[in-house]
Amino acid sequence: MSRTIEPELVRHIAKLSRIELSEEQLATLGRQLGSILDYFDKLQELDTTAVEPLSHAVEIHNVLAEDNPQPSLSPGQALANAPQRDGDFFKVPKVIGDSQ
Amino acid sequence: MSGVADLSALELRDAIAAGTVSATEAVEAYLDAISKREPAVQAYNEVLAERAMEQAQAIDRKRRSGQAIGEMGGVPVAVKDNLCTPYGRTTCASRILANFQAPYSATAVARLEAAGAIVLGKTNMDEFAMGSSTENSGFRPTTNPWDSSRVPGGSSGGSAAAVAARMCAAALGSDTGGSIRQPAAFCGVVGMKPTYGRVSRFGLVAYGSSLDQIGPLTQDVPDCALLLGVIAGGDPPDSTCLDRPVPDYLAELDEPVENLRIGLPKEFLSQALAPEIGAAIRKAADVYRALGATIIEVALPHSRIDVDADGKLSSYAVACYYIVAMAEASSNLARYDGVHYGHRTAQPVEDIIELYSKTRQEGLGAEVKRRIMLGTYALSSGYYDAYYLKALKVRRLIKNDFEAAFRQCDVLLCPVAPTTAFKLGEKTADPLTMYLEDIYTISANLAGLPGLSIPAGVSKAGLPIGMQLIGPVFSEDRLLRAGRMYEEATGVSRLTPEMVRKQPGYRMPPGSSSSSALRR
C-alpha cells in the first residue's frame, strides 16, 4: 500500500506552486503524489556517495557572446498578448498588500 | 492530382523542383487529405490553409521565374504546437495559452521555411508535452490513423498521426523523454531525437530544459535525413545549441555502415516487453547480422527494468527522469501566471498571488499541475537532497553506462515502447502506468544521446511496431545510415494505414510496403 501525502503538505506544495486546489483535488492529489513519491524512493537503493551530480548531459559552460545590441521586440509586440494593459505597461492587481 | 499526398517529402521536393507538380497542387492535395481524414484523426489544433496557399503560390512564382526555391521548396509540413510561429496560434494544447500568438518564430521552423517548406498547421500534443498518448491535450485527444480506438502516442501525437495519415509530408516534434520516438513507433513513421545541442531550441516552449530537443517525424529515413540537415546547427539565441558543422546527412545515406557493431541492452529485452516486440527486435538484429554487422550484448544496469512479485514495473531511469523533468518543469512553467500573456482568471482577487493561483487553477490541466507540484516538492527545502540531487547523481550513473556500452559497440538496438499503441483511456487513470511508457526512451534524453525510431514491422493485430537505434553524441549520420540499411534490406518503409490505402485513387508509392505483406 503506497503512502498518502497529508492534506496540509499538499496544500503547502500547492501554495509554493501557486496553484489553488479544491478540497476534492487535495484528496486525489494526496494519493497520486504519494504513490509517485514512493516510486521515486527507488533511487535510495543506489549508493551515490562518490558520484558527482550531472545537471546537463552536454557539459558546456560560459558561452560568451559579443556585447552587441540586437533587435528586440517592440513594446507593442511585447504587450500584444497582455490580458490587461495600461499604456505600455502590464496591469496587475496590487502586489504589496496586507494579506501576506 | 491523386497521389501527390502519397509522395515522400524528398520525392515531392524533387517533383516540385522538376516542375511536374506545383507547390500549389501539393498544398491542395494535403488540404484535401486533411478534409477527408482530419475529422477522424484530429491531429491539428489549427490548419493554416490560407497562408499555406499563399506561400505555395509564392514558391510557384519563384520557380517559374527561375529562382532557387530551396532544399524543401514547396513541401508542406506540420509543426507541433509548442513551436512558436509568428502566425496562427501557439497553444501547447493548453487552455492557458489557447489564444496565444507568438511574436517570433522558433529557429527550427524558420529554417524549414527558409528552405522553402510550407507550414500547413500546428499539431496537437499532450499539454506542454507532458504525456505519452496525446490524451492530456487541453482540447481533445488525437487518434491513431491505424486504429481510431487507439492513441497515437505522445506527446508529439498530432505530428506523428498527421504524417501517418499523409496529412502533411513531414513534421516537427519535440522529445523530452520519448515524445518523438514513441508516437513515431505507435503510428508507423520515422522519428528522431537528435543529440542535445544539435538543433536550436529557440522558440520551443520549454518543458525540461536539460532534456528537450526538437526533431523530425517523417515517412522514411531519407526524409528524416533531409529535415535534420535543414534544422540542425548552431544558433546564437540558444546557448545550449552547439556550433558544430552539420554533415550532409543525405550524401552517404545509402552507404551501409561497415563493420557495424550493434549492442543489444540485455536489460531492455525483459519480461516487461510485449513478446511480439521483443521478437521484432531480435529479428532486426538478425537482419543486421545478415548484413555483416556484429551483434553483442551490452549492459545498461541503471536503465534496467525491475518487475516485482505483483508484476509491477520499476526503473531507476524512470524515477530519475521524472524527478529531473518535473523539477525543470516547475521552474519553466512558473511563467504562466496570467500577467504577461495567456489566460487570466476573471474571478475577483485580493492580490497578485491570488491572481496567479486562480489563473493556474483554471488554465492548467491535471497532469501539468501534478508535475509542477512534484517538481516544486523535489526542489523544496528539506527534500532537495533526497530527490533532486539524488536524481542528478543517478543521471551521471546512467550516462556512464552508455559511455561504457559505446566502448564496445557503435549503436544500440532496442525497443521504443513496451507495447504497440494502446486504447484511448487505457492508461489515464493512473499517472504511473503512463510514465512507464517512457521506459526505453528516457535514458537517451538523460544522457543527451540521439535516438532514431523506425518501423520494424506490423503486429498480428495490424499495429506498427517500432525499433530504436541509439548512438553516441553527434552520431546522427551513423544512426540514419544504419536505419536506412534496415529499410533497404527489409522493405519495411513508409507503412501506410488502411485509412490512406482505401482512399480512391491511392497508388502505392514505389519502395513502400503494404502492411499485410509485413505480417508474420
Mean pLDDT of B362-369: 97
Give the residue ranges of chain A where pLDDT is below 70.
1, 59, 97-100
**Model ipTM?**
0.94
Q: How many Å apart are CA B47 and CA B29, to the nearest integer? A: 14
> Could B319 and A35 be called an inter-chain contact, meaning their C-beta atoms sit closer than 8 Å?
no
Is residue B515's pLDDT more than 70?
no
Question: Do residues A35 and A7 touch, judged by C-beta distance below 8 A?
Answer: no
pLDDT of residue A98: 58
pLDDT at B447: 97
Report the chain B residue with the minimal C-alpha distance to residue A84.
Answer: B339
* Lowest mean pLDDT segment, chosen from B133-142, B218-227, B302-311: B302-311
**Which grid coordinates are listed for B420?**
504497440
Indicate yes or no: CB of A20 within 8 angstroms of CB of B361: yes
Mutation target for B interface from A8, A15, A16, A17: give the one with most B CBs within 10 A: A17
DSSP-assigned letters across all residues of B49-112: HHHHHHHHHHHHHHHHTT----TTTT-EEEEETTB--SSS---TT-GGGTT---SS--HHHHHH
CB atoms B356 and A36 under 8 Å: no
Which of B199, B353, B387 to probe the A interface (max A CBs under 10 A)? Answer: B353
Q: What is the mean pLDDT of chain B?
A: 95
CA distances B73 to B9, B117, B118, B199, B482, Å, are: 10, 5, 8, 21, 27
Instruction: Please provide the CATH number assigned to the domain covering A1-45.
Output: 1.10.20
pLDDT given for residue B513 in this prediction: 52
Tell me, yes or no, if A16 comes closer than 8 A to chain B by beta carbon: yes
Taking only the tens place, the pLDDT of each residue in B316-342 is 999 999 999 999 999 999 999 999 999
Contacts of B389 in chain A (CB under 8 A): 53
pLDDT of residue B365: 97
pLDDT band at B512 (very low <50, low <70, confident <90, very high): low
Q: Name the closest residue on chain B to residue A34, using Cα atoms.
A: B374
**For the whole model, what pTM was predicted?**
0.96
User: SS3 for B458?
Assistant: strand
At residue A1, the pLDDT reads: 57
Q: What is the largest CA-CA distance in chain A?
A: 59
pLDDT at B2 > cutoff 60? no
In A, which residues are within 8 Å of B196 by CB distance?
A: 56-58
Could you please state the CATH topology (level 3) that the domain comprising B4-304+397-518 is classified under.
Amidase signature (AS) enzymes (3.90.1300)
Phi, psi of B74 (to 5 degrees): 85, 5
If contacts are CB pairs under 8 Å, which of residues 27-66 in chain A contact chain B? 29, 32-33, 35-37, 39-40, 42-46, 48, 51-58, 60, 63, 65
Could you report the per-residue pLDDT of B396-436, keeping only the tens digit for each? Answer: 999 999 999 999 999 999 999 999 999 999 999 888 888 98
pLDDT for the residue B467:
98
Helices and strands in chain B: count of H runs, count of E runs: 17, 13
- CB-based contacts of B21-25 (< 8 A; 24+ apart in sequence): B22/B56, B22/B60, B22/B74, B23/B55, B23/B56, B23/B57, B23/B59, B23/B60, B23/B63, B23/B69, B23/B73, B23/B74, B23/B118, B24/B53, B24/B56, B24/B57, B24/B60, B25/B1
Lowest mean pLDDT of A59-63, B16-20, B295-299, B399-403, name the range.
Answer: A59-63
Q: Cβ contacts (< 8 Å) between A42 and chain B: which residues?
A: 314-316, 319
**Is the pLDDT reported for residue B187 higher than 60?**
yes
Per domain, the residue ranges of chain B are 4-304+397-518
pLDDT for residue B309: 82
Interval B157-166: pLDDT, tens? 999 999 999 9
Higher pLDDT, B433 or B292: B292
Q: Where are the domains of chain A?
A: 1-45
